[in-house]
Structure 1
Amino acid sequence: MYKTPISVLVVIHTIDLQVLLLERADHPGYWQSVTGSQDPGETLLQTAMREVSEETGLRSADYELTDWQIENRYEIYQEWRWRYGPDVRFNTEHVFGLCLPDMTPIKISAREHLSYTWLPWQQAAEQVFSSSNADAILNLLARAQFAQTNT
């Protein structure tokens, strides 16, 4: 069964902007935030919650999961295109944020990831392989400043 070319990107971060990154098992050295394709019948929020649970062991309902209302459309990397239908070249990614009070131990999915790390937001943005992931992480500072001025 082919993957749906609709996915979520969930930037998991702490209040002081430490960002969780996961190292891909199928491509060592590729670091990213939580990502995953939408399953048939799921809302984007349900997809985000499922992916957070599967990839980190965290229950997103215990924290603040926010739809950032950011949508990215990008060409699927050639090495992963086989997962999609024969004529599918593009994916639409929806960005979410999950704010934790502090760095939390993670239970990674060994099938998907080799390791995890927490990094300050600037370093995390430099470490990820995906430009849309880097952009989302760089957006954290503005989001945090906006939240502070509106509290």
Structure 2
Amino acid sequence: MSLFAEDADELPGPLAGINTTPLVDVMLVLLIIFLITVPVVVAQGGIRLPRETTRAVVEEPGTVTLGIAREGTVSLNGVPLADTNALIGALRAVAARAVVPAVHVRADVEAPYAAVGRVLAACRTAGLQRIGFVTQPAARERAP
């Protein structure tokens, strides 16, 4: 059968079927993409948070307490500090002690997160590493 057939009866007719090879290729690529991305998305959502403990806070001698009020003002062992520079200066003096104490942060429940972030950054700048948050234990429902 030649391309220039003189008889039109020898030419093949139009194709009636659909070529599914490209469709299968696209579906396999999509399947591979989903198989790779789903475990990554699931793994990011599986954060295990620490359990609440009800043990009382035992403050060691010399423990430094940083208070953060609702307005965002910061105090060191009950003494209000004017600004972040004063906080960093006071924390550097604490870090220069022979025995570096722990730092307990007591933040009001409505304190702005930015104030807490500034306190943590100041602790890091001063070189303090033992930082803990003091919280109020959650009220528990009693069984009847």
What band does the TM-score fall into relative to the shorter chain? under 0.3
Name the structure with the higher helix share: 2
Name the structure with the higher strand share: 1
TM-score of the superposed pair, with normalisation by structure 2: 0.28
Q: Larger C-alpha radius of gyration, 1 or 2?
A: 2
TM-score of the superposed pair, with normalisation by structure 1: 0.27
Choose between structure 1 and 2 for higher RCO, CA contacts under 8 A separated by at least 6 residues.
1
